Amino acid sequence: GESVGLHLPTLSVQEGDNSIINCAYSNSASDYFIWYKQESGKGPQFIIDIRSNMDKRQGQRVTVLLNKTVKHLSLQIAATQPGDSAVYFCAENMDQGGKLIFGQGTELSVKP
Amino acid sequence: GAVVSQHPSRVICKSGTSVKIECRSLDFQATTMFWYRQFPKQSLMLMATSNEGSKATYEQGVEKDKFLINHASLTLSTLTVTSAHPEDSSFYICSARISGTGTSPLHFGNGTRLTVT
pLDDT in tens, B6-54: 999 999 999 999 999 999 999 999 989 999 999 999 999 999 999 998 8
C-alpha dist (Å) from residue B5 to A88, A91, B34, B43, B98: 21, 21, 13, 21, 14
pLDDT value at position A9?
Answer: 92
Using H for helix, E for strand and C for coil, what is the string for chain B?
CCCEEEECCEEEECCCCCEEEEEEECCCCCCEEEEEEECCCCCEEEEEEEECCCCCEECCCCCCCCEEEEEEECCEEEEEECCCCHHHCEEEEEEECCCCCCCCCCEECCCEEEEEC
Q: What is the DSSP-derived secondary structure letter of residue A61?
A: S
Contact between B105 and A102 using a beta-carbon 8 Å cutoff: no
H-helix or E-strand containing A48?
strand A45-51
C-alpha dist (Å) from residue A34 to A59, A89, B112: 13, 8, 23
Name the percent of chain A lying above pLDDT 70: 94
pLDDT digits (tens, 9 = 90+) for B92-115: 999 998 877 778 899 999 999 999
Q: Are B94 and B38 in contact (CB under 8 A)?
A: no
Q: pLDDT band at residue A1, thresholds of 50, 70 and 90?
A: very low
pLDDT value at position B57?
Answer: 94
Asked if the bond preceding A82 is cis, omega within 30° of 0, the reply is no
On whether any CB of chain A is under 8 Å from the CB of B41, the answer is yes
Give ∠ CA B101-B104-B110 in degrees, rounded to 5. Answer: 110
pLDDT value at position A6?
Answer: 52
Contact between B103 and A104 using a beta-carbon 8 Å cutoff: no
pLDDT value at position A5?
Answer: 42
Sign of the torsion formed by the C-alpha atoms of B89, A109, B107 and B43: negative
Query: Which of B43, B110, B111 minimises the CB distance to A89?
Result: B43
Contact between A4 and B41 using a beta-carbon 8 Å cutoff: no
Mutation target to probe the B interface, by most B beta carbons within 10 A, among A2, A4, A109 is: A2
pLDDT digits (tens, 9 = 90+) for A51-93: 999 999 999 999 999 999 999 999 999 999 999 999 999 999 9
A47 φψ region: left (φ > 0), alpha (ψ -120 to 50), beta (else): alpha
Mean per-residue pLDDT of chain A: 92
Interface of A with B (CB under 8 A): 1-8, 31-32, 34, 36, 41-46, 49, 51, 89, 91, 93, 97-105
pLDDT value at position B100?
Answer: 77
On whether any CB of chain A is under 8 Å from the CB of B15, the answer is no
Rounded to whole angstroms, the Cα distance separating B75 from B21 reads 14
Rounded to whole angstroms, the Cα distance separating B48 from B58 reads 4
Contact between B108 and A5 using a beta-carbon 8 Å cutoff: no
